[in-house]
Amino acid sequence: MEPPQDGDPQGRVLVVTGGCGFLGSHLVRLLLEREPELRELRVLDLNPDPAVVPPEHGTKNVIRGCRAGGVPVLIYTSSMEVVGPNTRGDPFLRGDEDTPYPVRHSEPYPLSKAQAERLVLEANGATVAGGGRLVTVSLRPTGIYGERHPLLQRLYRGGRALGGWLPRTLPPHAEHGRVYVGNVAWMHILAARAARLRPQAVGGECFFCYDASPLAAYEDFNQLLLGPAGLRLIGRSPPPRPLLELLAWLGVAVGRVLPGHAPLLNPYTLAVGSTPFSVRTRKAERSFGYQPLFPWERARERTLEWLRGLGSNQ
């Protein structure tokens, strides 16, 4: 969010919600490094329980706050999952924002993200205090990786506990697009600049967010990071599908018995990991000149350095 500038022409005041989290912390750091017009950075991180405050309710509050506070720009972090993979497992290969796809949501996360994104895009052009108009943009990252990624950390520690091995549980043929967290943060900065300078080009629009990271099956991509960190993937193919589905449902049952336990394998993660899903970012390139700030080699190097640091701290 970009609050009103209080008449000070010497810089911009920016607000990052969730600024202490995985993506938020990278965005805060990149703003401090790469936003020359930054005058003040305000970081908010209430970390509400989604079971108590659904994401779409929090989004309504953010939009109300923008309108009441005269905030001119709102950049929303959405997800590729507002599109898919859907419950049927239909592939989406290197598609863009206009690629037809039968969207079907059955899980709370993608459904709430889709509802929140709709609210944000519908708010574009709404009047704000002081007489201006709100410019809203929604960014849809593919699967994010990088330093401080909770799932990558969990996989690394789990593999170390198993003697350096990770079992294959997902099909090796399902192409996925993954994006480095620093490039997602960079797209936020570029989109915010465009929303301020060329609102007609980006206002009320959504953009997929990807970079030049290799397209690969989910576990094979993880191995590009975890392998040099000392872990090995067991097996060329996963167990039979009926067995995986049984294990996925057992994971759900264990999660219900043990509150706070989130199994890595459940019916939704199995469906997502088994469905080919990759995107292109030509719309962001055309609309506000997006190009990845971090090339794949640098993104991998930074992630590996962090992973090896986890090992040395154990």
Q: 39-89: per-residue pLDDT in tens?
A: 899 888 776 555 445 556 789 999 999 999 999 999 999 999 999 998 788
| Cβ neighbours, 10 Å, residue 96 | 13
Q: What is the pLDDT of residues 260-277, one digit of tens each?
A: 777 788 888 888 899 999
Region of 168 please: left (phi>0), alpha (psi -120 to 50) or beta: beta
- Per DSSP bridges, beta strands 165-167 and 232-234 are parallel
State the chain's mean pLDDT as an integer.
Answer: 90
| Cβ neighbourhood burial of 153 (10 Å; 0-12, 13-18, 19+) | middle
Q: Does residue 259 register a pLDDT over 80?
A: no
- What is the predicted pLDDT for the residue at 3? 63
Question: In what side-by-side order are the strands of the sheet with 135-141?
Answer: 73-77, 135-141, 205-209
Which superfamily is assigned to 12-306 in CATH? NAD(P)-binding Rossmann-like Domain (3.40.50.720)
Q: What is the pLDDT of residues 200-228, one digit of tens each?
A: 999 999 999 999 999 999 999 999 999 99
Q: Does residue 120 register a pLDDT over 50?
A: yes
- What is the predicted pLDDT for the residue at 55? 57
Determine contact, residues 130/4, Cβ cutoff 8 Å: yes
CA distance 119 to 134: 13
- What is the predicted pLDDT for the residue at 2? 65
Active-site residue, 180 included? no
Joined together, the tokens standing for residue 82 give 């507002």
pTM for the predicted model, two decimal places? 0.91
- Which among 109, 145, 210, 268 is annotated as catalytic? 109
- What is the predicted pLDDT for the residue at 108? 85
Produce one character per residue of 191-228: b if its CB has 16 or more CB atoms within 10 Å, e if not: bbbbbeeebeebbbbbbbbbbbbebbbbbbbbbbbbee
Tokens 């094979």 correspond to what residue?
220
- What is the predicted pLDDT for the residue at 104? 84
What residues are paired with 137 via a beta bridge?
75, 205
- What is the predicted pLDDT for the residue at 252? 84
CA distance 8 to 122: 30
